[in-house]
Amino acid sequence: MSYANFVPKIWAKAIERELERKLVFAEDCNRQYEGDVKQMGDTVKILGVGKPTISKQKGGSIILPDAENVEDTSVEMQINTVAYFNFLVDDIDKRQAVGGLMDALNTEATQELASEMDKDIAALAGTRDAKKLYSDYKAVNADNVLGTLDLALQMLQENDVPADAKIVATVPPWFLTHLRTAYTKLDTDNSDLLKNGKVGRYNNILIKMSNNVYSTASGSNIMVRTERAVAFANPLTHTEPYRPEKRFSDAVKGYVLYGTKIVRPKELMILNVKNG
């Protein structure tokens, strides 16, 4: 039995479904531009508009000034990152007889590809466009962890993020431990939440856990954001089996093409914190 008989198109669709389930950071990104990109090197220009000046006066006739030229804003998201795999599978008949080979390979490839994409989204927390909550990394423990989240939420609201907007904080395990200690109502038993890293809610903030939170030697950079703050596009997922010319083995290779960008920096706040 050749590996080519496993119908790669069906396997590719399975990987796409599993990628969606396993992505943590990407789940809360703006993905509306995904249909606009098809190939390596595509760039999506995301337009924004400025705010016109509002003038006021008391009484009298209104004499309008010259019409204002409201400057637009724009950012560009390049779709130029590829994550890929390429592995051999020997003695395919014997291994397949045991059962579970395809599921195991699918799971491993999916998990690693999803992790790489999530890491790149998380790494945006360390870029110039990501505003840090503190001037230096602040030590966080069970005594001040809730206040830290409260302050991040306050800063977002002062940036005119609506009170009813979905706010997501993706935290590392150590931060979650302090949060659970401080906030006993954190709903960790709700099975509806336990998907894609979801672990609970606090003060209208959806809490997620991920080991891919961007970190440096100084501490962690935790994203607190709306779903519009970061754009992400994964327009292409590809897998194919093949027969290496100089090996008596079957092999599988595949890749994902994607790009990500902070597009609404005022809707993103970074908790630059360390375990204290």
Beta-carbon-side half-sphere exposure of residue 115 (alpha carbons within 13 Å): 9
Nearest to 159 by CA among 215, 228, 71: 228
SS3 content of the chain, % helix, strand, coil (to 5): 30, 30, 40
What is the per-residue pLDDT for 1?
A: 45
Side chain identity, residue 98: V
Nearest to 188 by CA among 203, 174, 206: 206
What is the per-residue pLDDT for 187?
A: 60
What is the per-residue pLDDT for 275?
A: 94
Interacting residues of 82 by C-beta distance below 8 A, sequence separation 6+: 40, 255, 256, 257
CA 16 from chain centre, in angstroms, equals 16
Residue ranges of the domains in the chain?
3-49+79-123+232-262, 135-230+265-275
What is the per-residue pLDDT for 19?
A: 81
Cα separation, 269 vs 156, whole angstroms? 7
Q: Which fold, 3-49+79-123+232-262? A: Major capsid protein gp5 fold (3.30.2400)
Count of beta carbons in the 10 Å neighbourhood of residue 260: 24
What is the per-residue pLDDT for 160?
A: 92
CATH ID of 135-230+265-275, from 3.30.2320.40, 3.40.47.10, 3.40.30.10, 2.40.160.20 = 3.30.2320.40
Both structure tokens of 170: 């993706």
Q: Mean pLDDT for each consecutive 10-residue tract of the chain (276 residues)? A: 56 75 88 72 70 75 76 78 85 59 73 92 95 96 95 95 92 94 70 64 90 96 96 87 81 88 94 95
Q: State whether residue 100 is helix, strand or coil.
A: coil
Nearest to 84 by CA among 228, 253, 255: 255
